[in-house]
Structure 1
Amino acid sequence: MKLLSKKVKCNAHGQDSSYFLGWQEYEKNPYNEVRNPRGIIQMGLAENQLSFDLLESWLAQNPDAVGFKKNGESILKELALHQDYRGLPAFKNALAEFMEEIRGNKVRLKSENLVLTAGATSANETLMFCLADPGNAFLLPTPYYPGFDRDLKWRTEIQIVPIQCNSSNGFRITGSALEEAYKEAERRNLKVKGVLVTNPSNPLGITLSLHELNLLVNFIEAKGIHLISDEIYSGLVFNSPDFVSVMEVLMNKNYMNTQIWNQIHIVYSLSKDLGIPGFRVGAIYSNDKEVVSAATKMSSFGLVSSQTQYLLSAMLSDKKFTKTYVSENRKRLKHRQEMLIRGLRNAGIRCLESNAGLFCWVDMRHLLSSNTFEAEMEIWKKIIYEVGLNISPGSSCHCAEPGWFRVCFANMSEETLNCAMQRIKVFVNSECKTNVNGSNRNQFWNKNSRRKSLANWVFGQSFHDYKYER
């Protein structure tokens, strides 16, 4: 007897992706400098932990906001009771102004066009429900965030058709790639409802160029489809060129109050820019009143608590704090990215040149035994089990070329990052030594004694208690 729904058995969630499997291995054996120095270091988590001291300093200086008080009087009861699901006006105003600040005050955003959601995950899925029907398709440039297979497809039954980008031009979006993806959808009898991009890109760590943005706007105008710009990393641009929002492009083209004005939608969240993913604060920005209305109704299933909104409205309204925070956080990100690049370079590994985000797109093609995704998975397993680093293989991001990996750098201390770089350097040196000696790569990695030998080089001679889980 079938007692459960089809959704329960649907495997479109993507939980079996190597992206999520790497997390599972990390959780079995997490690194800790004191308690478990031989554990797996988490470098697959795009989390911003570099500026907590700035947040904590503000909280210490604003006890009323933390204690849910206004002018010294408690407003806990007011916040704890039922609220209008459209959100607190003060918070929406503060969020819209913060988004403008991040965009260099080159755009003007209306708080009434914002829909609050429980994170960007909820925002992206809600837009899928608003813009497309089951079986319709969205085009996404590759490589893309592995979680999109869950966020966009699992409950909505939307299809993703990749826009194939490659390393020959730095994985930039081209007109021919857009057209080919559209034709591929037509060959599969899929109705294309839009394009979704991340700007800055996850996992590439680059901002979209003005040429790419104009290309996208012209494309969706010609096809009569939507564009979703996921700008969750917009406050994390620490090198030139500067971030350009698609909304700025529309304003520069004087597209206000035209049809295309309603075809472009922005997703945002405070999870990355403020480093508070646990607060679950996301947003949709759309000029289409019907989309705003429908998305607001859907937000009932994933509201942001009024207590969270009150606290953050006070924080974001402090312009002196936000300006200092954004500036200092960018400096710290740049320093940390340079640490990672320098450490990888010392190990003979290069990265795609990047200017934003919490990760680098790392080129390990020269370490593959063959130019295949099977060889990529072989290297990935070695790095997790023998080296003790959880990084995300390019195949989990739907990259068309084997040998690329996303490596995060902002969710750990500098000491932990240095430890990770030492491990990877020893790993690469051992690979090169093995190849010079003429040993067969597969035989090398299939022999437990050689694996333990590498482990001893990486972690020290007292590695006998480390457990391999294959």
Structure 2
Amino acid sequence: MLSRKVMCNSHGQDSSYFLGWQEYERNPYDPVHNPSGIIQMGHAENQLSFDILESWLESNHEVAEFKSDRGASVFRDMALFQDYHGLTAFKNALADFMAELRGNKVEFDPNSLVLTAGATSANETLMFCLADPGDAFLLPTPYYPGFDRDLKWRTGVEIVPIHCSSSNSFHITKNTLEDAYKRATKRKLRVKGVLITNPSNPLGTTVSRPELETLVDFIASKDIHLVSDEVYSGTNFDGSRFISVAEVTEGQVDLSGQVHIMYSLSKDLGLPGFRVGVIFSANQTVITAATKMSSFGLMSSQTQYLLSVMLADKKFTRKYLIENKRRLKKRHEKLVNGLQRAGITCLESNAGLFCWADTRHLLQPNNFEGEMGLWKKILFNVGLNVSPGSSCHCDELGWFRICFANMSEETLDLAVSRLVSFVESDGGACRRRGRFGLQLRAPAASMAKWVLKLSVPDRKAEQSR
């Protein structure tokens, strides 16, 4: 009675990444009403600089009231239908802001931008434009768990992993790229491109210029596309400059139609609820098609108007970016130092809203079941929702992504305290009521077989995605 798309199980919702969210929603931590609840550390959301945004809104209240700088109402203009090309003022301001994030080393033509309802829509739209069902994109591991949904579910595109290793801090190499390409062709898949996140989600590292040059040389040699998801481009906090693929390919006209950038205001400005996504491409055929597709997921005119004024305020954007990076660095250091007290080290990182934590020494046993067992203990016994490396398709067991910017400093202190107590209690074999005095709920009976049985066939199915 229903379509195959509805009945198939290719959404990725049975991943531990999404299942952890479900358990958090059943038992969310609240300092007053539910102090023993689960703390959400699986959500890469930036809540550290809301006060700066709110201060700007208070000083520019007429914008939120839909009034122009002359005091005239623009409500009717915003309420009426706007075509899918977007407001010119917003596209101009967004193009300038994207250039500012990249040190003004590159420029973005507003006419080469396509507005979408968030990053998810932008990535899916690019897949529809660049590949047919059954074609493949190569992605370096570990990668964002939501890509199984965003890139594959409705498009029919296959993901082939580029196997990266902790032995070189998960850097992308020519050999790993060639290996992934060979594996794809062996499966008789037509490779249409490579997709990276820069800065990386979940690693929290910026992609180096040599890596970007390797990627550009590779896609040129194979005559395929390169998509760079740069939603975290304003979060680099260690003083090093973020290098966009647009800077590396500057002046290479012959490649301009094969390199595409995706951006969003969800991470840098902490506005995921505003649903602001954008595609940049010098390929006008892609821009034309993506613009038509954007009619299925438009950004509201009200959002565009408000943000066009905010982003055009250069004094504000400079102040915001500097202070936000300072706060991210401080919070990152707080989590890293706290994890060290628990005997857990992190991959050295310089961007993002999370740390890539190494818990391999805590696995009992040292296999997939061991990682899932540790994840369940941390989720149900400790009360922390973190994302296991297997949900990010990491080839090495025992890594976890832990977010730090979506909570108060006090909540982070509590989360670290819980984790320290957990590790100190017989290497993590803590009782239902741990040393930190928590009494957490047992796993819900409705949890998926994928989590409860932890079977080998399920692991193989997860790896095949």
Taking the aligned partners of 1:243 and 1:345, their CA distance within structure 2 comes to: 27
Deviation at 1:459, TM superposition (A): 2.9
Q: Deviations over 1:33-77 (max 9, x none)?
A: 111100000000000000000000000000111100111111111
Q: Return the alpha-carbon distance in structure 1 between the equivalents of residues 385 and 328 of structure 2.
A: 20
The question of 1:452 aligning with 2:432 is answered: yes
Matches of 1:459 and 1:83 in 2, distance apart? 56
Task: Give the TM-score of the pair, scaled to structure 1.
Answer: 0.93
Give, as a single letter, the amino acid of the residue that structure 2 aligns with 1:382.
K
Report the alpha carbon displacement of residue 371 of structure 1 after superposing the two structures with TM: 2.3
Look up the match of 1:320. Answer: 315
TM-score (norm 2): 0.94
State the 1:10 CA deviation.
1.3
Q: 2:419 aligns with which of 420, 424, 433?
A: 424
SS at match of 1:211: helix
- Residue 91 of structure 1 is matched in structure 2 by 90
Aligned residue in 2 for 1:349 = 344
**Residue 275 (structure 1) aligned with residue 270 (structure 2):** yes
The AA in structure 2 aligned to 1:451 is R
Tell me the equivalent position of 2:402: 407
Q: Is 1:11 equivalent to 2:6 in the alignment?
A: no
After TM superposition, give the deviation of residue 369 of structure 1 in Å: 1.2
Residue 125 of structure 2: aligned partner: 126
User: 1:290-323 CA distances to partner (integer Å, 9 max, x unpaired)?
Assistant: 0000000000000000000000000000000000
Q: What's the offset of the Cα at 1:5?
A: 0.4
Tell me the alpha carbon deviations over residues 307-343 of structure 1, each in whole angstroms, 9 at most, x when there is no partner. 0000000000000000000000000000000000010
Matched, 1:191 2:190: yes
Q: 1:63 to 1:453 in 2, by over 3 A?
A: closer
Mean CA deviation greater in 232-241 or 11-20: 232-241
Are 1:467 and 2:462 an aligned pair?
no
Distance of 2:317 and 2:437 partners within structure 1: 41
Task: Kindly indicate whether the alpha-carbon contact (under 8 Å) linking 1:207 and 1:241 is maintained by their aligned counterparts in 2.
Answer: no
CA distance in 1, matches of 2:329, 2:74: 40
Alpha-carbon offset, residue 242 of structure 1: 1.9
Helix, strand or coil: the match of 2:10?
A: coil
- Is 1:67 the counterpart of 2:41? The answer is no
Q: Distance in 1 between matches of 2:372 and 2:240?
A: 34
Which residue matches 1:264? 259
Measure the CA separation in 2 of the matches of 1:65 and 1:181: 50
Q: 2:18 aligns with which of 17, 20, 27?
A: 20
- In structure 2, how many angstroms separate the alpha carbons of the residues matched to 1:399 and 1:72? 54
Amino acid across the alignment from 1:152: L
Task: Write the letter of the residue equivalent to 2:344.
Answer: I
Distance 1:453 1:332 in 2: 34
One-letter code of the match for 2:263?
Y
**What is the DSSP-based 3-state SS (H/G/I as helix, E as strand, rest coil) of the residue aligned with 2:159?**
strand
How do 1:47-446 and structure 2 match up within 5 A? 47-70=45-68, 71-251=70-250, 254-255=251-252, 257-258=253-254, 260-432=255-427
Provide the secondary structure at the position in 2 that maps to 1:152. helix
Query: How far apart in 2 are the matches of 1:241 and 1:308?
Result: 32
Distance in structure 1 (CA, Å) of the matches to 2:98 and 2:120: 18
**SS, match of residue 452 in structure 1:** coil
Instruction: Measure, in 1, the Cα distance between the counterparts of 2:80 and 2:241.
Output: 42
**Please, what is the CA RMSD of the aligned residues?**
1.0
Amino acid at match of 1:245: S
List 4+ stretches of structure 1 deviating above 3 A: none
Asked if 1:36 corresponds to 2:34, the answer is yes
- Deviation string 1:333-359 (CA, Å, 9 cap, x unpaired) is 000000000100011100000000000
SS at match of 1:69: coil
CA drift at 1:374: 1.0
Shift of 1:467: 2.4
Give 1:373 shift. 1.2
* Same amino acid, percent of matched pairs: 65
- Separation (CA, whole Å) in 2 of partners of 1:452 and 1:85: 54
Partner Cα distance (2:139, 2:31) in 1: 39
- Structure 1 gaps of 5+ residues are 435-444
Distance in structure 2 (CA, Å) of the matches to 1:459 and 1:50: 29
Code of the residue aligned with 2:442 in structure 1: it is: Y
| One-letter code aligned to 1:60 | E
Q: Secondary structure at the match of 2:333?
A: helix
Q: Which amino acid aligns with 2:236?
A: V
Contact 1:165–1:173 (CA under 8 A) maintained in structure 2 = yes
Contact 1:340–1:409 (CA<8 Å) still a contact in 2?
yes
Which secondary structure does the structure 1 equivalent of 2:248 belong to?
helix
Q: Deviations over 1:423-450 (max 9, x none)?
A: 0000000133x8xxxxxxxxxx6xxxx6
SS, match of residue 195 in structure 1: strand
The answer (yes or no) to whether the contact 1:12–1:154 under 8 Å persists in 2 is yes
Structure 2: segments with no counterpart, 5+ residues: 445-465
Aligned to 1:107, what secondary structure does the other structure show? coil
For 1:383, the aligned partner's letter is: I
Residue 397 of structure 1 aligns to which amino acid in structure 2? C
- Give the letter for the 1:469 counterpart: P
The offset of 1:240, in angstroms, is 4.2
Q: Partner letter of residue 352 of structure 1? A: L
Tell me: CA distance 1:73–1:383, structure 2 relative to 1, closer, same or farther (3 Å): same
Larger displacement relative to structure 2 (88-97 or 370-379): 370-379
Instruction: Find the aligned partners of 2:366 and 2:141 in 1 and give their Cα distance.
Output: 18
Asked if 2 retains the 8 angstrom alpha-carbon contact of 1:140 and 1:195, the reply is yes
The DSSP-based 3-state class of the residue aligned with 1:216 is helix
